[in-house]
Amino acid sequence: IMLLITLLSAAASISVSYLSAKIASGVGRDLRSDIFRKVESFSSAEFDKFPTASLITRSTNDITQLQMVTMFMVRLVFYAPIMGVGGIIRAVSKGSSMWWTIAVAVIVLIGMVAVIVSIAMPKFRIVQKLIDRLNLVARENLSGMMVIRAFNMQSFEEERFDKANVDLTANTLFIARIMAIMMPMMMFILNVLSVVILWVGAHQVAQANMQVGDMMAFLQYAMQIVFSFMMLSMLFIILPRASVSADRIADVLETEPEIVDPVAPKSLNGRFHGTVEFRNVSFRYPGADTDVLHDISFVARPGETTAFIGSTGSGKSTVVNLIPRFYDVTEGAIMMDGVDIREVTQHDLRDKIGYVPQKGILFSGTIASNLRYADEYADETDLQTAVTIAQAADFVKNKPEGLDADISQGGTNVSGGQRQRLSIARALVKKAPIYIFDDSFSALDFKTDAALRRALHETTSDSTILVVTQRVSTVKQAEQIIVLDQGRIVGKGTHAELMETCETYQEIALSQLSMEELSS
């Protein structure tokens, strides 16, 4: 019978370990998926609230803390309560007059744990923030390594990293020292309890109120009870850090995106032309006191190029970033074929737009897989056509694998100009009725820029083109040029009209081109 019980106990222990590991892994998997989906729904405003380094920590380290506590909880839920309750029942049956010794020990144990947790809890919050800080410094160093080396700032960055590292180490050591007190104190309480039970029990035996065997059995059951509380105490030690991690994860999951789809969305499907109209649009970033854009009104029509030009910080990129609803307007409305873009789903809206960001972004994979981000069903002919229009055909053909050539993370194995041309090609694969080029030609030489604009004009003649640029040569042939200064429209018209009427445009043009070039 004892052998059978031993085998059953071993089987139960293995089952609990397997079950706890499975549940903890499932919790981690689900939380990672939930956080990723939530982050995918964030607008630019939410990314301003949660830095990238913090989101990485919350998706990794914080979830790991919750996995650990889940595993411990499942094991202890099955083990410690059964052992503790069973021990109490047997102890009372063997020595009902000595129950108070166990009660005192348990109260002291709980009080000690409460004090330690109250000291450690604030430090756990600091530690998680310091991990965010360390991740931020490391990420900035890795992404900005060329700039750091160019300015010989390695020593400064090493000191910056060391400070973040030392702060994290100091707080971690403080917590470790506090926790190190726990086990010796528990053993001290256990030993004192043993002495008290033997002393009280000896008097009971001397007075013939208890048998020696019952006293020893009571001692064993008392050890079992206190040991079960010690196990639960260990759980309360890791709970504070897990609680901090849970709060940080909840902050992300409970954040509602500022940009949401309407309850009863309108459709842009059917006969869609692609007319974009700004009606008295003003915009300010969340938390800002002043408008970045003020009273912007214009109409961009199909078959025409609408170009935005102005000094740095004039609001050019902000204008075009409002169209895909990366941010929502503060005042006014943006209409697309007469429909307010806030009245359609984000998916339908962005499905009509081919967007090329200011900085060319590529993902690890192949050239073809990057181009198919725009249309996963695009065939090789579509890809080749887009690459040719984007003036990327030569360097793609020079690669032995062609469109199947590997692209490393961030597109670091191609030049800035090649990366930008592939970004343009990706947008063209979409064959969208609206194209947005956010200063996308800045990494191209003038010859490639001119060839690309000619090819675009020929192949996207039915689409609405919106171009942000610093170059007058890029916008000269545009049907509509909008000149921005400090978030306001100070000029609108063709190149020839603006040279006559807009002083700001004249200054920009004369700073870049000669009078002969301007008149040609």
Q: What tokens does 155 get? A: 């020593």
Q: What pairs with residue 480 in β-bridges?
A: 306
State the pLDDT at residue 45. Answer: 80
For the chain, domains (ranges, CATH) are: 39-253 (1.20.1560.10), 270-352+470-520 (3.40.50.300)
In angstroms, the CA 45 to CA 257 distance is 8
pLDDT in tens for each of the 520 residues of the chain?
Answer: 777 877 887 887 788 888 888 999 999 999 999 999 998 888 888 888 888 878 888 888 889 989 988 888 887 776 777 777 777 777 777 766 777 887 888 888 888 888 887 887 788 888 878 888 888 888 888 778 878 887 788 888 889 889 999 998 998 898 888 878 877 888 888 888 888 888 888 887 777 777 878 788 878 878 887 777 777 777 776 777 788 888 889 999 998 888 888 888 888 877 888 899 999 999 998 777 888 999 999 999 999 999 999 888 888 999 999 999 988 999 999 999 989 999 999 999 999 999 998 888 888 889 899 899 888 888 889 989 998 998 888 888 888 888 888 888 778 888 888 888 899 999 999 989 999 999 888 777 788 888 888 888 888 888 999 999 888 888 888 899 999 999 999 999 998 899 889 999 888 888 887 666 666 6
Q: Are the CB atoms for 325 and 259 separated by under 8 Å?
A: yes
State the pLDDT at residue 319. Answer: 93
- Residue 186 is inside which H or E element, if any? helix 154-206
Which residues, 6 or more positions from 94, have their beta carbon under 8 angstroms from its beta carbon? 214, 217, 218, 221
Could you identify the residue written with the tokens 């964030």? 42
SS3 483: strand
In angstroms, the CA 410 to CA 187 distance is 55
In angstroms, the CA 419 to CA 413 distance is 9
Which residues, 6 or more positions from 498, have their beta carbon under 8 angstroms from its beta carbon? 481, 483, 491, 492, 505, 506
Amino acid at 519: S
State the pLDDT at residue 343. Answer: 92
State the pLDDT at residue 340. Answer: 92
In angstroms, the CA 289 to CA 269 distance is 38
State the pLDDT at residue 162. Answer: 92
Q: What tokens does 322 get? A: 């409002």
Question: Residue 254, Cα to own-chain centre: how many angstroms?
Answer: 14
SS3 466: strand
Q: Are the CB atoms for 422 and 359 separated by under 8 Å?
A: no
In angstroms, the CA 195 to CA 189 distance is 10
Query: Structure pTM?
Result: 0.74
Q: Are the CB atoms for 150 and 216 separated by under 8 Å?
A: no
Query: DSSP assignment, residue 402?
Result: G
